[in-house]
Amino acid sequence: MSSIAITGAIILGAVVLFVWNRLPVVLVALMTSLALFATGVLPIEDALGGLGDPAVIFIATLFIVSAGLEATGVTAWAGQLLIAKAGEESRARLLILTMSLVALLTALISVNGAVAALLPVVVVIAVRLKRAPSQLLMPLVFSAHAGSMLALTGTPVNVLVSNAAIDAGLGRFGFFEFTLVGIPLLLGTMAIIILFGERLLPQTSGPTIPSDFSRHAMTLVEQYGLSNGAFQMRVRASSPYVGNPPEAVDVAPFPGLQLVSIQQNGGGPLRRTTIAEGDYLILRGDAETAATFATQKHLAFRQEEAASDLQETLFNRNSGLAEVVIPPRSGMIGSSVFPGMVTESGDLIIMAVQRQGADLDTAAVTLEAGDTLLLQGTWKALDLHLNDPNVLVVNSPELVRRQAIPLGAGAKPAIAILVAMVILLATGFVPPAIAGLLAAGAMVLTGVLTVDQSFRAINWTTVVLVGAMMPLSTAMDETGAASLLAEGLVYAVGDAGPFALLAGLFLLTAILGQLISNTATALIVIPIGVAAANSIGVSPRPVLMSVAVAAAAAFLTPIATPTNLMVMAPGGYKFGDYWKLGLPLLIWFFIIATFYVPLIWRF
């Protein structure tokens, strides 16, 4: 059997396995690379060479940059801005703002990151405005697909297309060169959704709705009774406590008043040996007694704003609250704790203890299975210490922070790093992989993310899929399979010319892209497109850009992309709901890819 036949059989097998969807896509991709080596089509260096390709490294770094923006509340800020500006009356205004925001975020942090960040926000908007989530979630995803064409960083396919242009000796596509096709794609997508979306989309909501943590702090403060009889007082420069150890705070002369904790200015329990100006005392008791204590000890205290002040002190950019449950067989069962107690690590404070929903305000509580504790500390400390198997975390502090704290700690460095990366990519001063590595490294060096968080942020399925499928493109090129398929495509379109070639490639890419990963589809189609362009004597540049547009047109099925599947349950969608709105959008993408692209990138 010839190398071309073997390569064709491997391609067919990979497509069948992708569509069958019983094996993990990563396993199918790796099997494809191994099959190319085992059959002698490629040597081991080429069969596994894709895993170290600069494009793969660049794609991995984009996940880290995206995670940095999410972790610091940049996307939460964007979502809250959307809620503030959307209004309640105008459906068109709400859709325009939603689609514009997700498209912009997608261009900078990829489709998956943008949709994942805004999905809970959009569901909350739908609930608050009494609209069906199904009317907003599919437009969110489909406009993200269009927004992926606004910049190089929008999708891995853009990176692959740009690299293919370099390999073809044409020079890479510029960072904002994609914008020339992305803007009409986005505008057309928005127009179609606004004009026809309400009739083409169902009026449903799903059984699974992402949690809304925008009011999480208030919920915890109220549930644990901290809003009633709890006060925070700021230490003034004239206070006798300044310069003294925490033990100097004595509330015994004030009957009914209990010291809960001493908070360091900036959040978290006091770690210094002495109290300083700007630190906070949190106390529980009678309001008049608390006011008397504040006056005598020169502490800033606003009784009328006590609840909001306390909430701001406990839950802010630097520190937060977390609720944990003592599970059966926990090593903490039988331990004695009390409100105000600092944990063994010294990083967290036990603010309250409840048993079966009732507060336990005694001086000491012997923990039992099922007890709940409210802990307070810096976000970093909460992330670090709540992995303890002796407790079950009710809501992940990281997830809460991403939704509830807009522009939190590290937001400014994260934004600066993103801007610097975009400038490097736009100017071409360094290769994209270097720009991505510098940005990802800066996220760690500035403390925006830890090394562990960076590794967790990478979608390894996508990275391995791209790296393992790249050798297939190499095999198609070196064995002549791409040229043979290109000749068949050219023969099929006959003398109809390059426009017919673009139409044929679009249909091939779009059909495969509804069944398997659009990234895998692009890796299969790109060498065919380049070979076909060379065969009829036209520039591969419009062909490559047309393939990128076709790969983004993954609208007809929920399995076409992870984001399509991501909104299926929250939106209450059925398999057949996608094509109704997806088909007119697919036609629009076809028009742009076939007739508009050649006007910008000439044959």
Concatenating the DSSP letter of every residue in 87-140 gives -SS-HHHHHHHHHHHHHHHHHHH-HHHHHHHHHHHHHHHHHHTT--THHHHHHH
Q: Which residues contact 542 (CB under 8 A, 6 or more apart)?
A: 498, 502, 597, 598, 600, 601, 602, 603
284/307 Cα distance (integer angstroms): 12
Q: State the angle between helix axes of 3-20 and 518-536 in degrees (0 to 180), rounded to the nearest 10.
A: 150
Nearest to 160 by CA among 533, 470, 602, 515: 470
130/161 Cα distance (integer angstroms): 42
313/230 Cα distance (integer angstroms): 12
pLDDT along the chain (603 residues), means of 10: 84 81 82 91 87 82 83 75 69 88 85 75 75 89 94 87 87 88 96 93 72 72 75 90 91 86 79 90 86 91 67 77 91 87 83 83 82 87 84 84 75 90 81 89 92 87 80 80 73 76 89 77 85 85 93 84 77 85 95 94 86
**For residue 306, what pLDDT is reported?**
61
**For residue 583, what pLDDT is reported?**
95
Q: 323 pairs with which residues across the strands?
A: 374
Nearest to 77 by CA among 442, 416, 411: 411
**For residue 187, what pLDDT is reported?**
96
Task: Decide which of 1.10.3720.10, 3.10.20.90, 3.30.70.1450, 1.20.120.330 is the CATH code for 214-394.
Answer: 3.30.70.1450
83/97 Cα distance (integer angstroms): 9
68/64 Cα distance (integer angstroms): 6
**For residue 274, what pLDDT is reported?**
92
Residue 21 CA, distance from chain mean position: 25
Residue 85 CA, distance from chain mean position: 22
**For residue 304, what pLDDT is reported?**
58
Q: Which two tokens stand for residue 114?
A: 């943008």
562/16 Cα distance (integer angstroms): 19
**For residue 495, what pLDDT is reported?**
66
Q: Do 115 and 141 meet the contact criterion of CB atoms below 8 Å apart?
A: yes
* 28, containing H or E segment: helix 25-38
**For residue 575, what pLDDT is reported?**
76
Q: How many other CB atoms sit within 10 Å of the CB of residue 9?
A: 13
**For residue 373, what pLDDT is reported?**
92
**For residue 94, what pLDDT is reported?**
86
395 three-state secondary structure = coil
Helices (H), 351-496: 379-385, 397-404, 411-427, 432-445, 451-457, 460-479, 481-493
**For residue 392, what pLDDT is reported?**
92
Q: Do 103 and 147 meet the contact criterion of CB atoms below 8 Å apart?
A: yes
Amino acid at residue number 140:
L
Domain ranges within the chain, ordered by starting residue? 214-394
Amino acid at residue number 11:
I
* 62, containing H or E segment: helix 54-71
**For residue 242, what pLDDT is reported?**
93
* N- to C-terminal Cα separation, the chain: 37
